[in-house]
Each structure stands twice: as C-alpha cells, then as structure tokens.
Structure 1
Amino acid sequence: MVSHVAAVTMNSSEPARTAAFWAACLDGTVADGGNGFLHVTSAGVLVIVQPAPGRVADRETDVHLDLRAPDRDREVARLVTLGARVVEERADSHGRWTVLLDPDGRQFCVS
C-alpha cells in the first residue's frame, strides 16, 4: 500500500483570483468545490484553492499535498514511522482527513 497525490492545495486570501490564475496557466477550468473551495482541473491535475484570510506569502504551509490512501489510519501510522508528525484530525462535508508535518515541518494531509 502506498499513497498517491490526489490534489495540490493552495491557501489563498483571494481564492477567485488564485483559481483564475492557475486555470489560465494550466488551460483548465474553475469549479465550485463547496465550503469556499475552488477546484481547478486540467489534464488530470486537480489544484484546490482554499480560503485562507490570514495568508502570509512566505508561510511554509502555503501549498501542501493532499494524499489519499485506501486506509487512512494505516497510512498515517506508516507515515509517522517514516518521520511525519500528526498535527490534528479534521472533517467537513467533504470527509475526514489527518493533517501532518513532514520531517522538515511542511504540512500535508491524508484522507
């Protein structure tokens, strides 16, 4: 069992502007992802733009990977043995996920 990249998620204080930029950049389209999220799709790539009102450009969690695994709990346990650290568990109408930090302190999520 291994993880695969489900999406690249970008925090933005102006989600509509950010989504429009990446859609134009990638020759993609923008769709409402619900809960304030915008989805940019292009050639098999999903970029999720999530609202982050207090975003600071040099913040290390400005862009993070969203990983999807068949068994989230087992994958999180495996990643922790590799050096990741669990930050918190989250859930919304899209589902449940775990927020982690990689060994260098970069945030990523597993659903």
Structure 2
Amino acid sequence: MTSRFTELTVDCHDPERLAAFWCVVLDFKVIDRSEGKVEIGSWVPTVEDVRARQMPPTLLFLQVPEGKTVKNRLHLDVSPIDGSTEDEVSRLLGLGATKADVGRGADRNWVVMADPEGNEFCVLRTLAPQNRATNGHR
C-alpha cells in the first residue's frame, strides 16, 4: 500500500490572484476552479496517471478567512532554468513578489521571497546552461 503526493494546498484570501501569480512564475495553467479554490499545474492529472507513476504535484489555492500570521513551516523552492538567479528575482519582484527577511542572514546561495499574500518561497541557484546565465553563478 502506498500514497502519492498529488497536490500542495496553499491557504489564502484570494485564490485567483495567487493562482495567476504562480501560473506566471512556474509556467503552469489553471486546471480546475470552483468557488473559493483554484488548482494549477503543469499537467492535468487523471486517476490512471497518478496510479501509474509519481507525477509532479499540482498547487491548490484555497480561500480561508484567516490571514497568515507566522513564517511558513513549508515553502516552495524554485530554480531559474533560462537566466541568472538575480534576473529571476527581478522578474518575480515585477510580478508582485517581495524579498523576505526570515532571519537567515545574507550569506547564502538563495534568495528568500514572498508571494503577493506573504507566503515565503526561495529562489535557488540557476539551472540555466553556464553561457545563458548572465552572472555565471550556478
């Protein structure tokens, strides 16, 4: 007997807004929506696909009445695939993300950010080929 990791749920005030933000960040599409929730992913899951093999999880944004009050215990990490980490951070800032201070100091090879509702996530080192990353960091 086993289980599959099929979706990660994010509590939020505005599921449409956060889904739109994360669709642009991750190049995902909306795959399901109903009142108070929006699901996005890189694929449309079917029971057969999920039973056959582990597939990338979807993100489900679920409307809740309470706000975020403390640092997330679980967060997403993203890795740029076609540019430098610094370029990706700039792009995400333009989309409505902010840099976040979670008390880790500046000596690290990732950038802590927050989505438009304050949920922390990290931008890790670039996965772009060395000649595509403008700063040469990997």
TM-score (norm 2): 0.38
TM-score (norm 1): 0.46
Give 1 or 2 for the bigger CA radius of gyration: 2
Higher strand share: 1
